[in-house]
Structures are given as structure tokens and as C-alpha cells.
Amino acid sequence: MSTTSLTAKPAMPEKKPVKFSNLLLGAGLNMFEVTTLGQPLEVMKTTMAANRKDGMASAVSRIWSRGGVLGFYQGLIPWAWIEASTKGAVLLFVASEAEYYARSFGAGNFTSGIAGGMTGGLAQAYATMGFCTCMKTVEMTKHKAVVAGGKAPGTMATFMDIYRKEGIAGINKGVNAVAVRQVTNWGSRFGLSRVAENQIRSFTNKTDPNQKLSVAEKILASAVGGGLSAWNQPIEVVRVEMQSKKEDPNRPKKMTVGNTFRYIYSQNGLKGLYRGVAPRIGLGVWQTVCMVALGDVAKDMVEKATGDVVTAKH
């Protein structure tokens, strides 16, 4: 036996490259999703989470009173657009690194995929989604009344006012709740979608991994995974409450994830912690439809524009 074979190290897994075409595809699909039905569903979810005594009809009425159709697009420009165009890049870069290192320690495809998604979700929260979700929530919940013919402050004026008074911490309120939401979202969505996909393969006799699911089957698997991952809605309601500009003297002065959770439960019970879950499930389904149904069309457009082959899964 040669000494070379005894000392040889196991082959390191190949690191997936992060390509510009992948980033462009992700940003384009996210921008389309949020600009169409995504933001109206986000506004409905946030409004119901902030005003937990509102049902669906009263939430729609409240949003309409804040600007008609445009009320459903509060926070879209620039915050939702900034979030949509940057969060995919953060996820791809960080998830790629995390997945590579997980594989290097011997993790399988499934485990390394979850590890990459959860780590990427954590990075998304602190890099770009924290201040974007905070400012979107501020726009959706701030008091719109104007005194004595004055002019309501614009979104950038509101941003600068919060920054002057509270600094970086002020525009990143609720970022820890966003991080918990993103990590649990990615972990549960990845796992639950895989379980749903396996069930669909079993039902349709597509047991060979090389057999592709149809568009409808892909949407169904992802929608089931996205819908069931809404089990963590309480942390989303906590996030909204921490970022909300709603005036309530009973709220804790210095809000943390823990005391905000206790406050919501004491005021509205378990039902209050799941307020807004229906629009959130709808949002997850719409995101899936955009990524899966429009993915191939967008992929062709990006490849023609960049001359590069898109390798990202959508």
C-alpha cells in the first residue's frame, strides 16, 4: 500500500459560483412579484397584524381610507424595491458559502441546503431586510392626519426624522424578529417543500429523481411548503408590533422580542398572534407562482441579455 493513499485528503466539494445572471434573474422576479400582488398582500398582512381587532374586511377598509388603490402600495417605493432587488443577492452569496462549508464537513444535499438557506436568511435580515421592513411598516402604520392644513411628511423625511432621533437602532427596529422569521422560514419552507414534492412524486409515480415535475406540481409543492411554514406567524406579528408607529400607551417602552410577545398575548390572546396569516399564505403562493411559472420566461430573457447561462433554481 502506498503512503500517498494513506495520507490523501478527501476531495473537497466544488463551490458553486455566484453569477451575475443569477442575481439579475432573482432581482427581476422579486421586483415583478412585489410590484404586482406582492405589496398589496404585504400591506394587508401588516395592517391586520398591527390592528389585531380588524378582520379582513375592516383591514381593507382601513387601507382604502389611506389613499384608495395607492393605499395598497404604501412602502413600495423605495423600501420594497430596495429589499426586492438586494435580498436575493445577499441570499445567493451567503447561502453559497454556507452550503459549501456544510458539505466540506460531510453534510448531505438536504442538510447543506437547509444550512445554506437558514444562514442566507439570517444575513438577509441584518444586511438589507431589517431597515426595509421597518420603513415599510412605518409607512403602513404611521398616523396620516395632518394638522391645520400642514403637509404630511414624505417617506424620506420620515426616514431622516427617525434616524436623527434614534440613529441606526431606530431604522432597524425589530431586526432580531426579522432574523428569527427568516431563519425559521427558510428552514421550514425548504424541508416542508421537499416533503410535499416527495408526496407528489409518489402519487404521480415520478420516483426517478431525473423526472421533472410539471409547473403545476412545482407550484403545488412550494405553495404547500410556504403555506405550512406560516406556523411562525407569531414572530411576524411581533416584528410588526415592534416596528409599528401605531399609538398605544400600553405598549412596553423598550420593546424586545420577548416582552412584545407577552404584550400581544395579554391583549389579544393566541388569535392575535396569528392575525394576518391568511394574506401571508396568499403572499407565499403568489411568490411561488412568480418564481416557478414565470421563471423559465425570465431565465430566457436574462440569458439573451447577458449571454450567460443561468444556473440558479427558481
What integer is the mean pLDDT of 218-244?
89
pLDDT at res. 148: 44
Measured in whole angstroms, how far is the alpha carbon of residue 49 from the centre of its chain? 16
- In the chain, where are the structural domains located? 16-143+152-306
Q: Where are the beta strands (DSSP E) in the chain?
A: none
pLDDT at res. 262: 95
pLDDT at res. 83: 92
pLDDT at res. 110: 77
Averaged confidence pLDDT in the chain: 84
Q: What is the architecture, at CATH level 2, of domain 16-143+152-306?
A: Alpha/alpha barrel (1.50)
| Residue 4 pLDDT greater than 50, yes or no | no
| Residue 5 pLDDT greater than 60, yes or no | no
What integer is the mean pLDDT of 169-174?
88
Q: Which of 154-158, 205-209, 288-292 has the lowest mean pLDDT?
A: 288-292
Instruction: Tell me how crowded residue 3 is: count the other CB atoms within 10 A of its CB.
Output: 7
DSSP state, residue 37: I
pLDDT at res. 252: 87
Which of 276, 118, 101 lies closest to 188 in space, CA to CA?
Answer: 118
- Do residues 29 and 36 lie in contact, with contact meaning Cβ atoms separated by under 8 Å? no
Which of 85, 259, 97 lies closest to 176 in space, CA to CA?
Answer: 259
What integer is the mean pLDDT of 215-222?
84
| Residue 1 pLDDT greater than 70, yes or no | no
158 vs 291: which has the higher pLDDT? 158
Instruction: Tell me how crowded residue 266 is: count the other CB atoms within 10 A of its CB.
Output: 10
List the helix and strand counts (H, then E) for the chain: 14, 0
Which of 238, 227, 251, 259 lies closest to 133 in space, CA to CA?
Answer: 238
| Residue 147 pLDDT greater than 70, yes or no | no
Reported as a single tens digit per residue, the pLDDT across 236-279 is 999 999 998 877 888 888 889 999 999 999 999 999 999 999 99
